[in-house]
Every structure is written in structure tokens, then in C-alpha cells.
Amino acid sequence: MFPLAKNALSRLPVGSIQQMVARQSHQKRTPDFHDKYGNAVLVGGATFCIAIWTYTATQIGIEWNLSPVGRVTPKEWKDQ
């Protein structure tokens, strides 16, 4: 089985594929959508996300169960 697989793999044009990839990586290409607008879309999405979470955290009345220190006073002891 091993010689059969080795023979099949040796017939694949791996060298020509590597040469083609190397040639393509050195070519100048025109900027696509991500090159032109990628950073703007990323910043816009992050800003939108932060704005929505800020609104959610501050405006819709969620009780966050924060620490009661300073708001709760101890009761007096009842001696019996």
C-alpha cells in the first residue's frame, strides 16, 4: 500500500503549484473591498458595539446587584 501511495504522490505537480503560489505572492494586485474599507468597517462595528452595550448597561434599568456596602445599615440587637 505504501509504494502505491508514494507513486501516486510523486506524480502530483507539487513543485509547479509551489512555483505558481510564489509568483502570485510577488505580483501587484488591485486593492479589493477589504483593503479599501476593512479598517473603517472594523472601527465602525466596534463603535456601534460599544455604543449599544453602553446604552444597555446604563439606560434600560438592569439591576446589577452591586455591593451593598454603604447602603445597608445594621439593625440594633434585641436583648431578651
Instruction: Look up the pTM and report it.
Output: 0.45
Look up residue 75 and give its DSSP letter: P
Amino acid 11: pLDDT: 67
Topology of 32-58 in CATH? Answer: Cytochrome C Oxidase; Chain K (4.10.51)
* 29: helix, strand or coil: coil
DSSP 3-state helix, strand, coil percentages of the chain (rounded to 5)?
A: 60, 0, 40
Domain boundaries, the chain: 32-58
What is the predicted pLDDT for the residue at 41?
A: 96
Q: Is 72 helix (H, G, I), strand (E, B) or coil?
A: coil
Using an 8 Å Cβ cutoff, are 41 and 47 in contact?
no
Mean pLDDT score across all residues of the chain: 78
Residues 19-41 have pLDDT tens digits of 666 666 666 678 888 889 999 99
Please indicate whether residue 11 or residue 49 has the higher confidence score (pLDDT).
Answer: 49
